[in-house]
């Protein structure tokens, strides 16, 4: 008997992975949480049926969402992660000894406990002494955050519907701007442009971020298990341009071993193809 996990990438496109077994299924207050075991991708976390991470390709997403801002400003000491309950982003942040404080605001405590049990390779740093986890809505948390509190905010959210919807609003981005220091950086998972449904939410998010930040760019990565395999991240800053402010020598001197990110790719990932450029241009019509 064959068992397959299938996600609808659009109404007419499906993506399937053959799985050996389902390791757990829970219905939390916010969403359905499942973990599957597969031969090709290792363990897979899905929320409400949508693929969040697989053990095989999670490093691409988590390295790109953290090392790009960290290599741009070596003085990042206080970080807020919004979402990120699997722990992959916090794991990458904890590799930097100079980071002093990492707050993570995750709406769903059950995601964290499931990931600690079934995805220890991702959740391994959630108990680091610099990390404080707040279980509440990230939108409300940032609304109540004091001014100039963080050097970096990473929005490691689900898609812009359901519980994640508020994390793509103008109010949320405005509060992130306020909660960031004068040289603060906001990085967010920014969906993709290949399929129309994702392109529309990406365009909306980009134009909202652009209203607050003098620098608002997108950068790309190839993530095999995400819709179309082509994924974008947003980079917004009050001061830095990641293409010219990259501190390559400093970052390389840290000796961090990575599987995807490097300082040559850092500049290259901002060189976006024409289909994405055209989509972004439409944002300002």
Instruction: Give the interface segment with ligand SAM, choosing from 14-22, 46-54, 232-240, 262-270 (CB under 6 A).
Output: 46-54
Q: What is the smallest separation between the CB atom of 1 and ligand SAM, expressed in angstroms?
A: 29
Q: Which residue is nearest to ligand SAM (CB)?
A: 83
Q: Find the binder of ligand SAM among 69, 160, 164, 227 (CB under 6 A).
A: 164
- Nearest residue (CB) to ligand SAM, 116 versus 239: 116
Q: Scan residues 88-147 and list those touching ligand SAM (CB under 6 A).
A: 105-108, 111, 137-139
Residue 163 binding ligand SAM, by CB under 6 A = yes
- Nearest residue (CB) to ligand SAM, 185 versus 232: 232
Residue 153 binding ligand SAM, by CB under 6 A = no
Residue 158 binding ligand SAM, by CB under 6 A = yes
- Nearest residue (CB) to ligand SAM, 90 versus 246: 90
Instruction: Give the interface segment with ligand SAM, choosing from 19-27, 80-88, 121-129, 255-263 (CB under 6 A).
Output: 80-88
**Residue of 96, 63, 100 whose CA lies nearest to 251:** 96
Q: Scan residues 239-278 and list those touching ligand SAM (CB under 6 A).
A: none
Q: What is the smallest separation between the CB atom of 139 and ligand SAM, expressed in angstroms?
A: 5
Q: What is the smallest separation between the CB atom of 174 and ligand SAM, expressed in angstroms?
A: 16
Residue 166 binding ligand SAM, by CB under 6 A = yes
Instruction: Give the interface segment with ligand SAM, choosing from 66-74, 158-166, 194-202, 254-262 (CB under 6 A).
Output: 158-166
Q: What is the smallest separation between the CB atom of 45 and ligand SAM, expressed in angstroms?
A: 6
Active site residue 156: yes
- Nearest residue (CB) to ligand SAM, 42 versus 166: 166
Active-site position among 57, 103, 151, 156: 156
For residue 62, what are the contacts with CB-CB under 8 A and spacing of at least 6?
88, 89, 91, 92, 122
SS (H, E, C) the chain: CCEEEEEEEECCEEEEEEEEEEEEEEECCCCEEEEEEECCCEEEEEECCEEEEECCCHHHHHHHHHHHHHHHCCCCCEEEEEECCCCHHHHHHCCCCCCCEEEEECCCHHHHHHHHHHCHHHHCCCCCCCEEEECCCHHHHHHCCCCCCEEEEEEECCCCCHHHHHHHCHHHHHHHHHHEEEEEEEEEECCCCCCHHHHHHHHHHHHHHHCCCCEEEEEEEECCCCCCCEEEEEEEECCCCCCCCCCHHHHHHCCCCCCCCCHHHHHHCCCCCHHHHHHHHHHCC
* Cα(156)–Cα(247) distance, integer angstroms: 24
CA angle 54–59–64, rounded 5-degree value: 125
Interface residues with ligand SAM (CB under 6 A)?
A: 47, 52-53, 61, 82-86, 105-108, 111, 137-139, 156-158, 163-164, 166-167, 189
Q: Which positions are catalytic?
A: 156
């Amino acid at each position: 008997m064959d068992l397959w996990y299938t996600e609808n990438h659009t109404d007419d496109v499906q993506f399937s992975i053959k799985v050996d077994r389902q390791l757990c299924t829970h219905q939390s207050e916010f969403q359905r949480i499942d973990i599957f075991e597969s031969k090709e991708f290792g363990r897979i976390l899905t929320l409400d049926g949508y693929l969040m991470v697989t053990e095989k390709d999670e490093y691409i997403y988590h390295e790109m969402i953290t090392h790009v801002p960290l290599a741009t400003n070596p003085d990042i000491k206080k970080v807020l992660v919004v979402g990120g309950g699997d722990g992959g982003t916090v794991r990458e942040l904890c590799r930097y000894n100079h980071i002093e404080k990492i707050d993570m605001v995750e709406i769903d405590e059950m995601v964290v406990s499931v990931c600690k049990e079934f995805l220890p390779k991702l959740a391994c740093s959630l108990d680091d002494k610099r990390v404080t986890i707040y279980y509440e809505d990230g939108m409300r948390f940032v609304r109540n955050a004091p001014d100039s509190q963080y050097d970096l905010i990473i929005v490691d959210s689900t898609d812009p519907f359901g519980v994640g919807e508020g994390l793509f609003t103008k109010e949320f981005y405005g509060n992130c701007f306020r909660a960031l220091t004068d040289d603060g950086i906001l990085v967010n998972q920014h969906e993709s442009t290949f399929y129309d449904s994702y392109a529309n939410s990406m365009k909306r998010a980009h134009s909202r971020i652009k209203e607050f930040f003098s620098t608002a760019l997108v950068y790309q990565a190839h993530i095999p298990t995400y819709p179309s395999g082509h994924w974008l991240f947003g980079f917004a800053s009050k001061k830095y341009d990641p293409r010219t402010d990259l501190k390559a020598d400093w970052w390389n001197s840290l000796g961090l071993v990575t599987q995807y990110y490097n300082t040559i790719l850092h500049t290259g990932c901002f060189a976006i193809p024409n289909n994405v450029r055209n989509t972004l241009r439409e944002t300002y019509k």
